[in-house]
Each structure stands twice: as structure tokens, then as C-alpha cells.
Structure 1
Amino acid sequence: MHITFKKLFYREDYQIALDQLVTDEENGHRLALYFRGHTDQTMVIIGDYSCNYFKLSFEADSILLRAPDLYELDDGVEFNPVPLVLYKDSVLLTFATAWMGLKRDPSRDWTHYPIRAFEDDIHILSPRPPVFTDLGHKMSDYIVKQSLNPQADL
């Protein structure tokens, strides 16, 4: 199954896990999040090579918050079974406007993107939609290097 941006918004049976979170310094400190995804949660947990591998890139002025940062903020948002949701208005956006200096104006349509990943809830506030890149399937992180040493065999 190939993953598409649209499937992240609608597939309740699709599981994702955060593989890497990178600040892309070459592109103005944009956020790049790399995920593994599969309909079988076990495949996601073990990082099976059959998992889809994709990247979500957010603009440099996006705000990243992980779930522990939000424990005291009751956003009224219940658990959502789909991996990616967007809210044009949320308690988190209101809080960020009031207390974090987030400027909300008509030229920037700030959106709250809650991402439900395996054992990791991520919230991103962004003035523009993320860029989705399907990276195909990720092979194992482990590289086995072998060398032939004929002298040791003697």
C-alpha cells in the first residue's frame, strides 16, 4: 500500500511511528519529521522494511510541541484514530496567540496539526500546510560490514 497525504487524514487503521525529527538548517530551520507507517502496528514497532516511509516538512516559523508540553492545557480534543488532523481553531492556537506571541493575521492562516504517532503525540502550529514526501520503503538501519582478511585465515 502506498501512502498519500490524503490517507493520513482518513485511514483509521493506519499506524505511524516517528523515526526522526530534524531541523533543516539549510532551509531556514524548517521542521522535517520522518515516519514509518503500516496498517499493522507490529510492523511499525519493529520497523519492518515493508513499512511506508514518508516525510512531513513544516515551514521555518512553525511551532513544535510534544504531548508532555501540553499536559496542563486542556484542549478538549479527544483521541482521534486518524494519524493527522487539522484544526483552524483550537485551544492550543488560542493559547499560543495569548501567551506565546503567535501573531494571527489574515495573510497567515495558522493551523494546528495534531499528529498521532505510536507512543508519541506531536502538535505543530504552522502558517502553511506541510509538504508531504513519500520516500517509499525504508530498509534496515543496520549495515553489516564484512571484510576478508586472508592473513588471519592462515
Structure 2
Amino acid sequence: MSRNITLVPGKRHYLFCADEEGIKLLQPLIDVVKDGNVSYEIQIVKDNWNPILSSEWLSMQKMGSFLYATAEWNVLKKLKQLAEDAGFSEEDAQYIGYGKELIKVFCCRCHGISILEKGQPERNCEYCGLLLEVSDHYSQLRDAFLGYVAKL
């Protein structure tokens, strides 16, 4: 998931799914698509957002559609999962997050999962207190990064 928003040319239909702030980030791209007379749809994610409606909307899209999803990290993660469940691959979408990104860290000692802000190199485990160094090893099963014993 990146911050670089680039137009992927040659798609037959563009989908823009974003919250209020995300639409502002996508507006220059939406303008290019409008000017190019290309088919597009916009879905705005509001505070009372219903993921089921987004899931149905994504599932109804035809092959050749390209998705731009922009939202705060916690909502963006849900949008990405809905898109993947609907059949969108990494090549069919761009995900742009903003705000604080929280990640999960799996403790190598007690197997507890702690939450911290991305980029924070160390954290004490919320369960056993062990000082953990966040690794780049990610477990899809646990949806968490592995936390090793921090070197003192």
C-alpha cells in the first residue's frame, strides 16, 4: 500500500473508493479520467460505512476494472480485504493510506499480539513485558509481524 497515486492507462473502467479525505487525494486523478472520457464510478466511504455494500459493489465489477482505494489505514485494510475477496489482485488496484498506521507484533516468548504504530522499532509485549524488536517477517495467519527479543 503506497502513497504514490499514478494513472494506470488502458483500463476500460476505473473505480474510486475513498473516504472524504481520500477523495481529495484522488481528485487530480479523477479529473484526468473525466477528461479522458473513460468510464468510472465513485463510492465514498462515510462514518457509517457498511462494508457489505462495498463488497457487493466490488463483486459486481467487470474484468478490466481498476480500483483506487484511499482511506485511513484501519479502513483501507478492510477495503483491501473486500477487494481481494471480490477477485481484485495487486495488479488490479492501488491502495493509498494516510494517518497513523497501526501494526500487530507477535511475541516470540508468550505468543501474545501487541499493537504499535508502524515505524516504531521496539515495544514491550503487552502480555509478558519482554522488550521486542519488530522484524520484517510478516505472518498472514496471525496478521502480525514477528517480534524478536531486543538486543540491549
User: TM-score, normalization: structure 1?
Assistant: 0.22
More helix by share: 2
User: TM-score, normalization: structure 2?
Assistant: 0.22
Answer 1 or 2: higher relative contact order, Cα 8 Å, separation at least 6: 1
